[in-house]
């Protein structure tokens, strides 16, 4: 059953949406990196480059990649054959495409990779770049000597390496007389908060306004939502309705509407852990209306959870799944993909008339100028279904 929950746990409201690329000039990127004490990640590409397109479509939008790169780098993209990259090309070159560079605020390269990378490789490259600027031994020494800002830098390095950081953070934040107005301490709270059911999360909420002034609303809201989602996941993993109630309570402190969505999502997820089809139907229907409506990712995930559940042979569950994917298709920029998947889903369940309608909507949504290979695949489905409805 745990496999099913993975389909639920990615939502547009609460998860990273891939790498967010900075759109300012190269000088502005350098200034931002210096102000935020970060490296710059540069995707140097060409418009015609196939491997570049692969990374843009499959790697940069990845949730894990986005979370790591958005937290640790100022991210920029340059088409190396267009005027937009002129200032960057004064200092750096790309002998092949894509070239992926990690550059310090001083405009000096730290690490460079040539060629396309898959998700695990790109994350490994990023950690290699960070390890070259994070001298862990020196950071531990500075922390032991109580150097200003050393706790933040040490914890950041530990997080980047995937090493435990919570004990050091919590012990430091319990230091008698600690100045919680100090920017480094406020940034440490934001950096280290990973779950909503924690003292760190409570400190984040307590000092939220001061942290907002330092880091901005987007960074704070993103961290809060990620922490809530992490505790939500944990509640499902341990089947703890008590923890789920705590998660909802914490969510209410920053977004009451999101708290209601989470509550209905959690009820549905817990129902999927059981064997009561009526409860699954009722909680799924409630989640569709109270939690997923208007949220493309949640609607798509609801469809996936139902499709892969043990209850998908039931008529009412099929209807709900179809309604969820139709809702996602109506919201999506490329809704033809969802209509096509809906057609295949309904065809498999011998609902040929409904399946044909979905396939025809997919073809219409793709339009005459859509990629020929996709048009052929959809047309093949339409032709099959027309035969099956005779």
296-313, pLDDT tens digit by residue?
Answer: 999 999 999 999 999 999
The confidence score (pLDDT) of residue 3 equals 31
The confidence score (pLDDT) of residue 310 equals 95
Task: State the catalytic residue, choosing from 8, 16, 52, 366.
Answer: 52
Backbone φ and ψ of 113, nearest 5° = -130, 135
**Calpha distance 191→159 (Å, rounded):** 9
Confidence of residue 240 (pLDDT cuts 50, 70, 90): very high
Q: Give all strands (DSSP E) within the chain, no chain letters.
A: 39-45, 73-79, 99-103, 109-114
- List pLDDT tens digits, range 112-166: 999 999 999 999 999 999 999 999 999 999 999 999 999 999 999 999 988 999 9
Phi-psi region of 239 (alpha: psi -120 to 50; beta: other; left: phi over 0): left
**Percent of the chain, pLDDT > 90?**
88
Neighbouring C-beta atoms of residue 356, cutoff 10 Å = 21
User: Would you call 305 helix, strand, or coil by DSSP?
Assistant: helix
Residues 6+ apart with CB under 8 A from 235: 241, 243, 244, 246, 247, 266
Residue in 315, 294, 292, 290 with CA at minimum distance from that of residue 304: 292
**Calpha distance 193→14 (Å, rounded):** 15
Give, for 373, the enclosing helix (H) or strand (E): helix 372-388
Task: State the catalytic residue, choosing from 14, 16, 30, 49.
Answer: 49
Joined tokens for residue 183: 């920017």
The CA–CA distances, whole Å, from 288 to 36, 335, 344 equal 40, 18, 21
**Residue at token pair 């000597």:** 145
- List pLDDT tens digits, range 35-58: 989 999 999 999 999 999 999 999
- List pLDDT tens digits, range 8-24: 333 333 334 799 999 99
Residue in 150, 224, 220 with CA at minimum distance from that of residue 184: 150
pTM of the model: 0.76
Ranking 141-145, 184-188, 250-254 by mean pLDDT, the lowest is 250-254
49 catalytic, yes or no? yes
The confidence score (pLDDT) of residue 68 equals 92
pLDDT above 60: residue 2: no
Partners of 77 in beta bridges: 43
Residue count of the chain, please give it.
390
Q: What is the dihedral of CA 364, 365, 370, 372, to 10 degrees?
A: -50
């Amino acid at each position: 059953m745990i496999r099913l929950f993975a389909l639920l746990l990615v939502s547009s409201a609460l998860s990273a949406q891939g790498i967010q690329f900075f759109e300012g000039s190269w000088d502005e990127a350098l200034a931002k990196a210096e102000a935020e004490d970060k490296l710059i990640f540069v995707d140097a590409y060409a418009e015609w480059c196939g491997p570049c397109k692969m990374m843009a479509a499959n790697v940069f939008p990845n949730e894990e990649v986005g979370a790591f790169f958005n937290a640790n780098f100022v991210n920029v993209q340059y088409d190396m054959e267009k005027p937009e990259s002129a200032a960057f090309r004064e200092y750096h070159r790309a002998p092949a495409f894509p070239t992926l560079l990690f550059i310090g605020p001083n405009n000096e390269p730290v690490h460079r990779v040539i060629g396309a990378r898959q998700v695990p490789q790109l994350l490994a490259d990023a950690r290699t770049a960070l390890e070259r600027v994070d001298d862990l031994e020196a950071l531990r020494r500075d922390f032991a000597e109580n150097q200003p800002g050393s706790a933040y830098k040490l914890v950041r390095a530990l997080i980047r390496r995937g090493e435990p950081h919570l004990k050091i953070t919590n012990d430091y934040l319990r230091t008698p007389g600690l100045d919680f107005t100090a920017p480094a301490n406020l940034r440490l709270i934001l950096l280290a908060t990973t779950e909503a059911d924690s003292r760190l999360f409570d400190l984040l909420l307590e000092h939220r306004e001061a942290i907002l002034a330092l880091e901005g609303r987007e960074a704070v809201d993103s961290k809060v939502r990620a922490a809530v989602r992490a505790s939500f996941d944990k509640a499902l993993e341990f089947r703890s309705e008590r923890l789920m109630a705590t998660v909802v309570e914490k969510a209410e402190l920053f977004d009451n509407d999101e708290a209601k969505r989470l509550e209905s999502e959690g009820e549905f997820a817990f129902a999927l852990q059981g064997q009561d089809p009526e409860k699954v139907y009722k909680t799924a229907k409630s989640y569709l209306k109270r939690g997923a409506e208007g949220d493309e990712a949640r609607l798509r995930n609801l469809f996936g959870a139902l499709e892969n559940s043990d209850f998908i042979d039931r008529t009412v569950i099929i209807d709900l799944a179809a309604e969820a994917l139709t809702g996602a298709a109506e919201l999506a920029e490329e809704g033809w993909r969802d209509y096509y998947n809906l057609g295949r889903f309904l065809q498999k369940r011998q609902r040929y008339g409904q399946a044909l309608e979905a396939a025809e909507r997919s073809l219409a949504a793709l339009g005459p100028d859509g990629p020929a290979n996709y048009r052929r695949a959809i047309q093949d489905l339409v032709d099959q279904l027309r035969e099956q409805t005779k």
